[in-house]
């Protein structure tokens, strides 16, 4: 067996065997298969596709290219993943709720590339919060308080890290078999046997239309069946940002307000109830979706979800006084209001445009080594379909650079008709 034969086989649109896929993944992880050879195979996959068995074999080969966690001693762990978006703070709201309902939460999250930081970056907005735990600490935290949220370990699905970076350089990121295998390999390597996936769809997501989102959801569900994992996919809209906040520290503010029961915006309520109810069903903590939704809302209103979030922060070295007294956080230098240029109904608040502008302000990173400014971003008072009056404040730009703030203000991100 050699890599040239494997490349030629996929070039000619033939099915690769499990052994051929494993040979490629192992060889590329070890550096025995070169970048240009891997590029040729990835491009052939991009053009000719893969069937469900090939995608599953690729997923499992990448998952087993490094460390695979065994979380069986933690009980019925259910993982949650999102395919990404703008203002996506759902993990930080949902995980404490699920843990407060007796389901162990052992969550590894990555850093964000692109629009804003990832879940780990958002949590590191809280002074002292540790994400660089050992696996033993990770599991012990779950045993002690029922929840742990840490950064992804270096040896988790290393083949996926290499392939993802390669795909980015050869314009092969947006491909459904490669996206599905990337997501599922990380989930399997992180020890997940039951997984709920938020498949986002719209301008601010990888999947721009429902047809592609349906395909991705179907393939990931099928990977689950073929790899003996329970997978449930829930589709959510990403045409406009989720909730009020976009930006790392600002999203922590919103998370705390929601967990304290101060408000629960309708789009966030829908997402956490759909995803959370499915997680509770998989964990045998609810007999129906409706019962699951009711339990989720109850544990927000009774304060148990907020208490679990405080416990999570404190247990990982975070200064919980910042959560209890949000005014302690350092604010951006410039907080600039966005006002309505005319009266009417908001018809568009484009998630992709907002995401790009948030990254321009410094809320995101282009390269993994880039620093993120936790203070900058947006806070939206009004959303799509709201009726507004001329001069009314629609939201605020949070910036540390006045010139950048003025540029963002000039972009007219709200469409009103």
Q: Convert the pLDDT of each residue in 161-184 to its tens digit.
A: 899 889 988 988 888 999 999 999
Q: Which of 10, 65, 80, 81 is catalytic?
A: 81
**Distance in angstroms (rounded) separating the CA atoms of residues 339 and 398:** 14
Tokens of 78: 């259910």
Q: Start-end ranges of CATH 3.40.1030.10 in the chain? A: 72-155+167-323
Return the residue matching tokens 């209001």.
337
Contacts of 23 (CB under 8 A, 6+ apart): 1, 3, 6
Residues 3-49, CATH architecture: Up-down Bundle (1.20)
SS3 sequence, the chain?
A: CCHHHHHHHHHCCCCCCHHHHHHHHHHHHHCCCCHHHHHHHHHHHHHHCCCHHHHHHHHHHHHCCCECCCCHHHCCCEEEEECCCCCCCHHHHHHHHHHHCCCCEEEEECCCCCCCCCHHHHHCCCCCCCCCCCHHHHHHHHHHHCEEEEECCCCECHHHHHHHHHHHHCCCCCCHHHHHHHHHHHHHHCCCCEEEEEEEECCCCCECCHHHHHHHHHHHHHHHHHCCCEEEEEEEECCCCCCCEECHHHHHHHHHHHHCCCCCCHHHHHHHHHHHHHHHHHCCCCCCHHHHHHHHHHHHHCCHHHHHHHHHHHHCCCCCHHHHCHHHCCCCCEEEEEECCCCEEEEEECHHHHHHHHHHHCCCCCCCCCCCCCCCEEEECCCCCCEECCCCEEEEEEECCHHHHHHHHCCCCEEEC
Q: Convert the pLDDT of each residue in 61-112 to its tens digit.
A: 999 999 999 998 998 889 999 988 898 999 999 999 999 999 999 988 876 6
pLDDT over threshold 90, residue 267: yes
Whether 182 is catalytic: yes
Q: Start-end ranges of CATH 1.20.970.10 in the chain? A: 3-49
Q: Start-end ranges of CATH 3.90.1170.30 in the chain? A: 330-416
Whether 160 is catalytic: yes
Contacts of 78 (CB under 8 A, 6+ apart): 98, 103, 192, 194, 195, 196, 279, 282, 283
Q: Which of 89, 107, 139, 186 is catalytic?
A: 186
Whether 356 is catalytic: no
Q: Convert the pLDDT of each residue in 226-251 to its tens digit.
A: 888 999 999 999 999 999 999 999 99
pLDDT score at 369: 66
194, β-bridge pairs: 78, 230
Average pLDDT, the chain: 93
pLDDT band at 205 (very low <50, low <70, confident <90, very high): confident
pLDDT score at 16: 98
Query: Are β-strands 393-399 and 78-82 bridged in parallel, bridged antiparallel, or unpaired?
Result: unpaired
Q: Convert the pLDDT of each residue in 281-326 to its tens digit.
A: 999 999 999 999 999 999 999 999 999 999 999 999 999 999 999 9
pLDDT score at 168: 82
pLDDT score at 45: 97
**Distance in angstroms (rounded) separating the CA atoms of residues 287 and 355:** 38
**Among the listed residues 239, 203, 247, 205, the one whose alpha carbon sits nearest the alpha carbon of residue 361:** 247
Q: Which of 89, 139, 161, 167 is catalytic?
A: 167
pLDDT over threshold 80, residue 1: yes
- Say which residue, 38 or 372, is predicted with more confidence: 38
**Distance in angstroms (rounded) separating the CA atoms of residues 154 and 160:** 11
Q: Which of 79, 121, 160, 198 is catalytic?
A: 160
Q: Convert the pLDDT of each residue in 324-370 to its tens digit.
A: 999 999 999 999 999 999 999 999 999 999 999 999 999 987 666 67
Q: Convert the pLDDT of each residue in 21-55 to its tens digit.
A: 999 999 999 999 999 999 999 999 999 999 999 99
Whether 81 is catalytic: yes
Whether 18 is catalytic: no
pLDDT score at 199: 95
Q: Which of 109, 182, 185, 203 is catalytic?
A: 182
**Under CATH, which number does the domain 330-416 receive?**
3.90.1170.30
How many Å from the N-terminal Cα to the C-terminal Cα in the chain?
63
CA torsion 34-37-39-45 (nearest 10°) is -130
Residues 72-155+167-323, CATH architecture: 3-Layer(aba) Sandwich (3.40)
């Amino acid at each position: 067996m050699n890599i040239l034969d494997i490349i030629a086989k996929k070039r000619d649109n033939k099915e690769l065997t499990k052994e051929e896929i494993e040979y490629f993944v192992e060889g590329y992880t070890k550096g025995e298969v070169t970048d240009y050879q891997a590029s040729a195979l990835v491009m052939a996959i991009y053009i000719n596709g893969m069937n469900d068995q090939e995608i599953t074999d690729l997923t499992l080969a990448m998952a087993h290219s490094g460390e695979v966690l065994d979380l069986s001693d933690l009980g019925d762990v259910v993982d949650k993943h999102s395919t990404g978006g703008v203002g996506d703070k759902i993990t930080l709201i949902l995980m404490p709720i699920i843990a407060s309902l007796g389901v162990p939460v052992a969550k590894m999250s990555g850093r964000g590339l692109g629009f804003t930081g990832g879940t780990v970056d958002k949590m590191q907005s809280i002074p002292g919060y540790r994400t660089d735990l050992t696996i033993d600490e990770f599991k012990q935290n779950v045993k002690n308080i029922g929840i742990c949220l840490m950064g992804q370990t270096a040896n988790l699905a290393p083949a996926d890290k290499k392939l993802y970076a390669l795909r980015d350089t050869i314009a092969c990121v947006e491909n459904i078999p490669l996206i599905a295998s990337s997501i599922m390999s990380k989930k399997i390597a992180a020890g997940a046997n039951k997984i709920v996936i938020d498949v986002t769809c719209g301008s601010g997501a990888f999947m721009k239309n429902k047809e592609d989102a349906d395909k991705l959801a179907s393939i990931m569900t099928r990977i689950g069946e073929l790899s003996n994992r329970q997978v449930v996919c829930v589709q959510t809209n990403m045409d406009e940002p989720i909730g009020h906040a976009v930006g790392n520290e600002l999203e922590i503010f919103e998370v705390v307000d929601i967990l304290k029961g101060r408000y629960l915006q309708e789009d966030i309520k829908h997402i956490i109830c759909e995803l959370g109810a499915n997680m509770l069903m998989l964990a045998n903590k609810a007999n129906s979706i409706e019962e699951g939704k009711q339990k989720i809302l109850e544990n927000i209103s009774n304060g148990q979800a907020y208490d679990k979030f405080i416990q999570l922060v404190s247990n990982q070295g975070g200064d919980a006084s910042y959560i209890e007294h949000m005014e302690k956080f350092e604010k951006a230098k410039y907080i600039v209001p966005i006002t309505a240029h005319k009266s009417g109904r908001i018809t568009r608040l484009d998630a992709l445009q907002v995401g790009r502008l948030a990254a321009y302000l410094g809320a995101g990173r282009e390269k993994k080594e880039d620093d993120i400014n936790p203070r900058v971003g947006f806070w939206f008072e009004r959303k799509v379909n709201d009726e507004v009056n001329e001069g009314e404040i629609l939201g605020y730009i949070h910036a540390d650079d006045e010139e950048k703030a003025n540029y963002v203000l000039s972009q007219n991100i709200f469409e009103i008709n």
